[in-house]
Structure formats: C-alpha cells, structure tokens
Structure 1
Amino acid sequence: MATTFDPFREFATLAGALADAPSGPRRMPMDLYRDGDTYVLNADLPGIDPGSVDIDVDGQLLTIRAERTVSSGDGVKWITRERGTASYLRQLSLGQGIDTEKISATYDNGVLSIMIPVSERAKPRKIAVTSAGSDESAELSDATTV
C-alpha cells in the first residue's frame, strides 16, 4: 500500500502547534452590537478573576486587560496542566459619539459585558421647521440667541 506525504498538512500541524504557544497577550473573542442608545460589548474571559480585569478609557481608546493565574497550594503535584496563566488585551477605538463618562461593566459566568452609551448630542433628534412669515418663527427668533 502506498503512503502519501502532504507537506501542506504537515505545515498546518506545525503552524497550529506554534499558534497555541503563549507568546504575549492573547486576544479575547468578543461580540459588539447596538441596543437602542447603548453599544454592548460581550467578551469571553473564562477562568478570570474579576479583580484582575482592568478597563481604561483614554480619550477615544478603550483598553481591556485581564490576567488568568493558576493557583497551586502547598504539596500540589500536577498530573497535567493545559490551562496555564494567560494575559488578555483588547483595544477599541470608540469614535466621537460615545459618552465615555457613563461606560459600565459587569462580569458573569466568564463573560465580560461592557455597556457603552451613545452621548446625548450624538442621538438623532427632530428639528421643527416653521414658515418665514408665521408668528411662531418670530417668537422662536426672539427667544433664542446664538
């Protein structure tokens, strides 16, 4: 029976092994959607202590950092250890229409949820149109100064 050698399969196996090796901060998978006047970001961070999560806003840049540590007590003898320590990092540009003062976050069942509200000035609004000769426009122009 003939055996075939596929160099691309071997390369894919090697690339997969190298990709699994921790070589710095890992990216966290996330979902982002808009619900009314709030953007909701859900990021998977399984096994993370909520106290290790750090969320910063610097101007329009949102940075999420988290650390997973492995606790080992005295006398622990590891049989296998596939879930090592890890650091996670994600940065997002928020844009101009975000109320950065009201961003909030929760962590539940390994999912970090960040609520990012749209600022009042960025929300759509209706502009009333009046005719040039009506009394309403005269009252409006008297009441408003620029």
Structure 2
Amino acid sequence: MRHEHFGRGFGGPGEFRVPVNIVKNDGSYDLFIFAPDRAKEEFKINVKGHELSISYALKSDPAEHKNWIRHEFIKTPFERSFMIDETVDAENIRAEYVNGILQITLPVIPGSEKPAHAIPIN
C-alpha cells in the first residue's frame, strides 16, 4: 500500500478529516476508520485502478430533529482516498462496520511483496 492520495480528504482549511489507522499484518493491510453513529449503508468504498476511496454521505439531515435541547455534534460527510499497489488483491477487499469503526481489509497477494533491504549511507 502506498501513501495517502493528498488531493481529497486530507484536511484542508475547514474540511473535516475522519481519523484512519492502518496496520500491516502478515497477509493484509487493515484500515480502521473512526466513524461512530453512522449507518453502514451510507458508506461507499470503491477501487478504481490503484485508488481506494472511502466516502460517507448523509441521506438525511439529523439536525432536522426539532426537539433538540442541545445539539453539539453533527455527522459530517467525508471522503478519503489511498493509493494501493499491485501487491493488494483488489478483488478480495472486505469491509465491516462494528461499534463505530469501519474496518477495511486489503489482502496481500502471496509472494508479491519485495523483501526489505538496507540502503547504505555514503
């Protein structure tokens, strides 16, 4: 998996940036997106070429509830994009939404990773 695509969802001025944790396991990368109190049907996850995009769009406005005594938090739409490389098995990416965390598992194609090597400093 490569660096995050900096064009969208990177948190420019006034833009909401949903937090994402990424862990490398033996056979996959796992993305954990902190997005509590959302409906899983409102997430969209797409792969196009080498770009994985994750977005959330509200289908209804929670602020339209008229009986608020106090209304301090809101659900904000977001989009995050990440570049994936040829080691990711894009056909077998899985997603699960549990307890406010969207977990996306990107399996690695066995034998596709290049071994690490030391870089000498001159």
After TM superposition, the score normalised by the length of structure 1 is 0.61
SS in 1 for 2:57: strand
Gaps of 5+ in 2: 1-12, 116-122
Report the counterpart of residue 18 of structure 2 in structure 1. Answer: 28
Q: Compute the displacement of 1:84 (Å).
A: 2.3
Q: Which amino acid aligns with 1:98?
A: V
CA contact (8 A) 2:32 2:103 kept: yes
Matched, 1:95 2:85: yes
- How much identity, in percent, do the aligned residues show? 26
The Cα shift of 1:78 comes to 2.0
Tell me the residue number matched to 2:47: 57
Q: Which residue of 2 aligns with 1:117?
A: 107
1:20-65 Cα deviation digits (max 9, x unpaired): xx945x2211111111111111110011111101000001100000
Residues 48 and 67 in structure 1, CA contact (< 8 A), matched pair in contact too: no
Which runs of no fewer than 5 residues in structure 1 stay unpaired? 1-21, 126-146
Amino acid at match of 2:62: V
> Contact (CA 8 Å) 2:27, 2:110: kept in 1 or not?
no
- Return closer, same or farther for 1:85/1:112 CA change in 2, 3 Å cut-off: closer
Alignment-derived partner of residue 9 in structure 1 = none
- Structure number with greater Rg is 1
Q: Match of 2:62?
A: 70
Q: Distance in 2 between matches of 1:102 and 1:57?
A: 11
Q: What is the TM-score when the length of structure 2 is the normalising length?
A: 0.72
Runs of 4 or more above 2 Å deviation: none
Tell me the CA shift for residue 123 of structure 1. 4.5
Report the CA distance between 1:85 and its aligned residue. Answer: 3.7
CA-CA distance at 1:121 after TM superposition: 4.8
Greater helix content: 1
Residues 67 and 85 in structure 1, CA contact (< 8 A), matched pair in contact too: no
Equivalents in 1 of 2:68, 2:26: separation in Å?
49
Q: Distance in 1 between matches of 2:85 and 2:73?
A: 36
* TM-aligned CA deviation for residue 71 of structure 1: 6.6
Q: Structure 2: how far apart are the matches of 1:98 and 1:66?
A: 23
Q: CA deviation at 1:122?
A: 0.6
Contact 1:63 1:90 in 2 (8 A): yes
RMSD (Å) for aligned C-alpha atoms: 2.3
Q: How many residues align?
A: 101
